[in-house]
Amino acid sequence: MFHFPIFNRRIQSLATISAAALCLTSVLVAQAKTSAGTPRQAIPAPPPLLLGSAWYPEQWPESRWEADLDLMQKAHMHSVRIDEFAWDRLEPQEGHYDLGWLERAINLAGKHGIYVVLGTPTAVPPEWMTEKYPEILATPEEFHRPTGQREHFNFASPKYRQFVRDIDEQLARRFGHNPYVIAWQLGNEISSPSYDAGTQKLFQDWLKAHYGTLDALNRRWHNDYHSSIYSDWSQIPIESTQGYPGLLISWHHFVSDTWRSYEKNEIDAIRRYADPRQRITTNLMGWNESFDQYVVTRDLDFAAWDDPLGKRGAFYDPIDNGARNDLSRGLKHKNFWVMETTFGSNIARGEMRAGIWADIGHGADTVSYWQWRDALNGNEEFHRGQIVNVDDTPAPIYEEMAQTGREFDKAGPILAGTSVHADVAIIYSFDSRWALEWQRNGHEPPFKPIDELLSYYRPLHELGNTIDIVSPDADLSSYKLVIAPGLQLLPAAVAANLQRYVQNGGNLVLGERSGMLDEDASRWTLRQPGPLAPLLGGHVEQYFALPRPIPVSGDWGASEAKIYAEQLQSEAPGTKVLMRFGKSNGWLDGKPAAITRKEGKGSLTYIGVWMNPEGMTAAVKWMLQLSGVSRDLPVVPKGVEAYRRTGDSKDVLILENFSSAPQTITFPSQRTDVLFGGTVKSVTLPVYGVAVLAKGRK
C-alpha cells in the first residue's frame, strides 16, 4: 500500500494507545451504549507493545476469517487495521448502511485477543458516489481516474465532506464503545490536493483572510516584478511547483490548513459518539512534502507513519529510516506508531524483524505489517508483502513475524512507560524544503534538502547520540545543541525563537542556505542569516554552486567542500573563523567557510560549506564538545545500531546487528537480557540479531 496515489486530547510523552490503556485499569468493560452483538464481558487491556497487520476481511469469504485470526493469534499478533478501503461494503447505496459484517469481523478478532484499529473508508469513495456526484472528485492538472485507484476525492468539497461525516458518524455510533476498537485511522496516506475552481476560490478567500488587502499581498509578494500586481482576488491562480515564491508558499500553507480542516471534520464526527479511550491518528509517509506534517497532525492524538522497508529496489538504511522515525516522533513530541511496514524484494532473512525493532528503538509502541495477504486483483495483487499466501498457507515471513510477536510479549512490560529522550535536536522545516526544491539555483549536482539534513544526522548518530527532529517553532529549551540545516525560510517569529534559545544558553548551528527568506518567501533585506546576522556578528557575502569539490581547512582539519559554498564575513570582535576555503574560484580563496560567536552561555555558529563525511564528522565532534553533550548510547562496532528508551525508573537498550558478521558488545555494568533471560555484561549478536537489555526496575 506504499505507492503514491494517481495524483499526487492529547496523551503524555509515554502515552501511546498501549500505555494509555495500561493507565486505565487492568481491564476494559464494554459500555452500555454498545450495539447488539458486542460483548459486555470484561476485556483485557492491550499489551504495551502491539504487533499487528492490515487485514481486509471484506476481500475474503467470511468462512476464512476464523482461520486467519487463528494464525494471527498463534503468531502473537495483537492488533489488526481494517476497513479503510471498504466504503462500498459499508454503504452499498446512498444512505443505506451495512455494518453487520464489520461488527462480526471486529468481535471475532476480539475473541482471538486481537484489538482493532478502525480505518475510516474515506480514501476511496464508492463508485455510486463518484458517478452521481462527480463534483466530489479531485481535479489535478492532468486527470484520468481509472477504477480501482484511491485518493481521487476533492479534499475541499463540501459535498464529499458531508458524505465523510455521515459514514464516520455511522461507524462511531456502532463501534465508538466497542471494547476491541482501540484506535481510529483517518483515511489512508493523504497526499494530493485538488485544482478545481471551487478550491481556487477557497484559496483566494484564505489569502484574503491571511493578508487582509490586495495591497498588502502585492507588497509582501513584491508583485512589481514581471508586472504581476493583482487588482482583484479572483485573478490569483493556483501554482504548486513554479511561479512566484509568495504564491507557492501560500498555496502549500493553504493545502496544509485544508487537510487539517478535512481531518477535523472526521475527528469531530468520531468524537461525537466514541469513547475517549479510542485515540485518533492517520498514517503519514516519512519525508512526504505534500503538506506541512506539523500542521496536519496538530489535532491528532498521536502520530503514525508508513515505513516501507526495502521498497522499490532500495536497501534498508538505518540512518535514513531512523531519521524518518525521529521525524514522526517529533511531530507530536511523543511515542508514535508505525501503521504499515512491509517485506521488500531486497530484504534478507531476519532483516524485517530487525527493522521492526529499530522502529521500537526510535519510539514506536505499535508496528503493523502490510499486509496479511495480497489481494486477488487490483494494482497491488503482486505486492509481495503477504504474511499468508493466496492459498491460505503461511508465507516464509510468517515465522519471522511470529518470533517478533513472541519477543514483543517478553519486552512489552519493561518498555511500558518508556520513551526516547535527546539532548540534540535537528530542525526540519517544510517551508524551507519547499523553497529549496523550487529554486535550486542551478545546482549540479542538485542541492537536496534531505541529504543536507542527513549530512548532520549521520555523524551525530554514529557518535552515539539520540536525536530529535523538530519544527522551527518548537520549544527548544531542553536541548543543549540545536542544528538547523538549510533553514532558508526564516520567519521573524522563528528567528525570535532561535535567538531566545541562544540567549538562554543554547548552542545553535545554522547550515548552508539559511536565513535567506522571510515568511512570504521574499528575500530578507539583511544578508544571510537574515534577522540572526547581528547575533552571529557576521553574514554571507556571496554563494556558489560547486561543479566540483574544493578544499577547505581549519579547526576541523582538512576536508573538501561539495555542491554548495558560501563566502562568509565576520564583522564583530567576538566572531571567530573556524574554517577557510582553499584555492578554488578566486572569490572563495582563503575566505571564511564557517564562523561562530558566543552569546552569554550560548553560541551561534554558521557553517557555509557542505563538507565530505570526514569533515562533517569533525564538525559535529566540535559542536558536541562546545555544547557539553555526552553520548547517551554505548560504543558499538561498525554496523551495530543502538537505541535507548527511558522512563519510570527504567533504562532499556535495544541493539541490532546490521553488519555482515557477528558482533560482540560489552557494557560497563550488568544488564538484564529481556529476550533470552539472565544478566549479561556482554552480548554477541548474529547478523540481524537483536538484543533488548534493561537496567532498573522491571
pLDDT tens for residues 219-233? 999 999 989 999 999
Q: Are residues 384 and 432 in the same domain?
A: no
Instruction: Count other Cβ atoms within 10 Å, centred on residue 312.
Output: 10
The yes-or-no verdict on residue 383 having pLDDT over 90 is no
**pLDDT, mean of residues 240-263:** 94
The yes-or-no verdict on residue 583 having pLDDT over 60 is yes
Q: Are residues 454 and 369 in the same domain?
A: no
**pLDDT at residue 384, as a whole number:** 66
- pLDDT band per the 50, 70, 90 thresholds, residue 241: confident
Q: Are residues 509 and 574 in the same domain?
A: yes
Q: Are residues 517 and 660 in the same domain?
A: no
Tell me how many domains the chain contains. Answer: 3
- Kindly report the CATH number assigned to the domain that includes residue 658: 2.60.40.1180
Q: Are residues 40 and 96 in the same domain?
A: yes
The yes-or-no verdict on residue 212 having pLDDT over 80 is yes
Q: Distance (Å, rounded) from C-alpha 559 to C-alpha 529?
A: 24
DSSP 297-323: TTTSSS-EEEE-TTGGGPPP-HHHHHH
Which pTM does this prediction carry?
Answer: 0.92
**pLDDT at residue 375, as a whole number:** 78
**pLDDT, mean of residues 372-399:** 83
The yes-or-no verdict on residue 620 having pLDDT over 60 is yes
Q: Are residues 469 and 400 in the same domain?
A: no
- pLDDT band per the 50, 70, 90 thresholds, residue 386: confident
The yes-or-no verdict on residue 439 having pLDDT over 60 is yes
362 in any annotated domain:
yes
677 in any annotated domain:
yes
**pLDDT at residue 20, as a whole number:** 38
**pLDDT at residue 36, as a whole number:** 42
- Kindly report the CATH number assigned to the domain that includes residue 146: 3.20.20.80
**pLDDT, mean of residues 586-611:** 96
202 in any annotated domain:
no
Q: Are residues 253 and 395 in the same domain?
A: yes
**pLDDT at residue 137, as a whole number:** 94
- Residue 481 grid coordinates: 545543541
**pLDDT, mean of residues 163-171:** 98
pLDDT in tens, 304-337: 999 988 665 567 899 999 999 999 999 999 999 9
The yes-or-no verdict on residue 2 having pLDDT over 90 is no
The residue out of 415, 442, 474 marking a domain boundary is 415
Q: Considering only 204-218, 333-347, 664-678, which range has the smallest mean pLDDT?
A: 333-347
Q: Are residues 435 and 502 in the same domain?
A: yes
Q: Are residues 596 and 689 in the same domain?
A: no
**pLDDT at residue 418, as a whole number:** 98
Please count the CA atoms within 13 angstroms of the CA of 13 that sit on its side-chain side. 12
The yes-or-no verdict on residue 18 having pLDDT over 70 is no
| CA nearest to 266, candidates 134, 339, 175, 160 | 160
**pLDDT, mean of residues 2-8:** 33
- Choose between 151 and 541: higher pLDDT: 541
- Kindly report the CATH number assigned to the domain that includes residue 460: 3.40.50.880
Q: Are residues 409 and 434 in the same domain?
A: no
**pLDDT at residue 147, as a whole number:** 42
The residue out of 586, 605, 627 marking a domain boundary is 627
**pLDDT at residue 40, as a whole number:** 58
500 in any annotated domain:
yes
9 in any annotated domain:
no
Q: Are residues 405 and 516 in the same domain?
A: no
Q: Are residues 544 and 411 in the same domain?
A: no
Q: Considering only 5-19, 252-266, 326-340, 574-588, which range has the smallest mean pLDDT?
A: 5-19
**pLDDT at residue 226, as a whole number:** 87
- Choose between 656 and 445: higher pLDDT: 656
Q: Considering only 15-29, 51-65, 422-436, 437-451, which range has the smallest mean pLDDT?
A: 15-29
Q: 431: domain range?
A: 424-627
213 in any annotated domain:
no
CA distances from 12 to 46, 217, 284, 336 (A): 18, 40, 21, 11
210 in any annotated domain:
no
Q: Please provide the average confidence, as pLDDT, over all residues in the chain.
A: 91
The yes-or-no verdict on residue 533 having pLDDT over 50 is yes
- pLDDT band per the 50, 70, 90 thresholds, residue 143: very low
The yes-or-no verdict on residue 51 having pLDDT over 90 is yes
**pLDDT, mean of residues 27-51:** 64
The yes-or-no verdict on residue 599 having pLDDT over 70 is yes
DSSP 569-633: EE-STTEEEEEEE-SSSSSSTT-EEEEEEEETTEEEEEE-EEE-HHHHHHHHHHHHHHHTPPP-S
**pLDDT at residue 379, as a whole number:** 66
DSSP 460-507: HHHTT--EEEE-TTS--TT-SEEEETT--B--HHHHHHHHHHHHTT-E
230 in any annotated domain:
no
**pLDDT, mean of residues 367-378:** 86
Residues facing 632 on adjacent strands: none
Contact 324, 283 (CB under 8 A): no
The yes-or-no verdict on residue 25 having pLDDT over 50 is no
pLDDT in tens, 462-484: 999 999 999 999 999 999 999 99
The residue out of 391, 415, 439 marking a domain boundary is 415
